[in-house]
Amino acid sequence: EVQLLESGGGLVQPGGSLRLSCAASEFTFSNYAMNWVRQAPGKGLEWVSLINGGGTSTFYADSVKGRFTISRDNSKNTLYLQMNSLRAEDTAVYYCAKSYSGYHAFDIWGQGTMVTVSS
């Protein structure tokens, strides 16, 4: 079964850092762009970042640009999100999501990992 499994969430103080991981299985990981999408408690969805299949191109939402870095290790079928200078407004469930073929619609989602930024 095609699957994405996030890990690395937790409680962090404002200004701190956290690295999220997303392990992919049962598809050719390197063939697809991958994304991070977040959802603050009780709120809607917000796209955070995308990386292409080869890891050579990245895109970010303005709200995280300069603070978050997306990367991938295709040899390990794993996607990452390095989050620095965290703020209270970064508190959310973070989902990794696979882009569908040549479209940037998201056909496979992980179960999400909660990040809480609080002192």
Locate 16 and state its tokens: 């701190």
User: How many degrees, rounded to 5, is the angle at CA 45 between CA 44 and CA 47?
Assistant: 150
To other proteins, the closest distance from the beta carbon of 105 in angstroms equals 4
Nearer to other proteins, 23 or 61 (CB): 61
CA atoms within 13 A on the CB side of 57: 4
Long-range CB contact pairs, 44-53, < 8 A, 24+: 46/92, 48/81, 48/94, 49/81, 50/99, 50/104, 51/79
Which one among 50, 79, 86, 117 touches other proteins, defined by CB under 8 A?
A: 50
Q: In this structure, which amino acid lies at residue 53?
A: G
Number of residues that bind other proteins (CB under 8 A): 21
Nearer to other proteins, 38 or 72 (CB): 38
To other proteins, the closest distance from the beta carbon of 49 in angstroms equals 9
Locate 51 and state its tokens: 């990386």
Name residues contacting other proteins, limited to 51-110 (CB under 8 A): 59-62, 95, 100, 103-107, 109-110
Name residues contacting other proteins, limited to 17-36 (CB under 8 A): 35
Positions in the binding site for other proteins (CB under 8 A): 35, 44-47, 50, 59-62, 95, 100, 103-107, 109-112
